[in-house]
Amino acid sequence: MIVNKYIPTEYLNKVNSVASNNNKESNTNTSSVSFSDVLGEKIQAVNDKIVESENKTINFINGEEEDIHNVMISAEEAKESLQLAVEVRNKLVDAYKEILSMQL
């Protein structure tokens, strides 16, 4: 299952600029990272695990990978990462709905 093999250039530029800003900020002992940047990085990490798992599976099918143990571990890690991401999303949506339903 491929979630997103294509990574938009805008996203890569944004991640690289955030990383360079973080390096500059760490030198001045101030650090501020936006929630959306952290969330984007974590989603990208989940996507990377899924792509890695798929590549290992394809390599195993083609006979390039000999150890099924590593293939299965990679698949489980990808599955668990995706399930965690879905649960985090569900919690965020629930929190957003609760905020919307608050009366001012």
pLDDT in tens, 28-74: 555 788 888 998 999 999 999 999 999 999 999 999 988 999 999 99
pLDDT of 78 > 50? The answer is yes
pLDDT of 2 > 50? The answer is no
Closest C-alpha among 1, 7, 8, 23 to residue 78 = 1
What is the pTM assigned to this prediction? 0.63
- State the chain's mean pLDDT as an integer: 82
Q: What is the largest CA-CA distance in the chain?
A: 62
Q: Which residues contact 47 (CB under 8 A, 6 or more apart)?
A: 3, 4
pLDDT of 23 > 50? The answer is yes
Q: Bigger pLDDT: 2 or 31?
A: 31
Q: Average the pLDDT over 66-87 and give the result.
A: 94
Q: Bigger pLDDT: 98 or 20?
A: 98
Helices (H), the chain: 9-27, 35-61, 68-101
Task: Give me the residue label for tokens 């949506």.
Answer: 93
Q: 3-20 burial string, b = 16+ CB within 10 Å, else e?
A: beeeeeeeeeeeeeebee
The pLDDT value given to residue 1: 44
The pLDDT value given to residue 43: 93
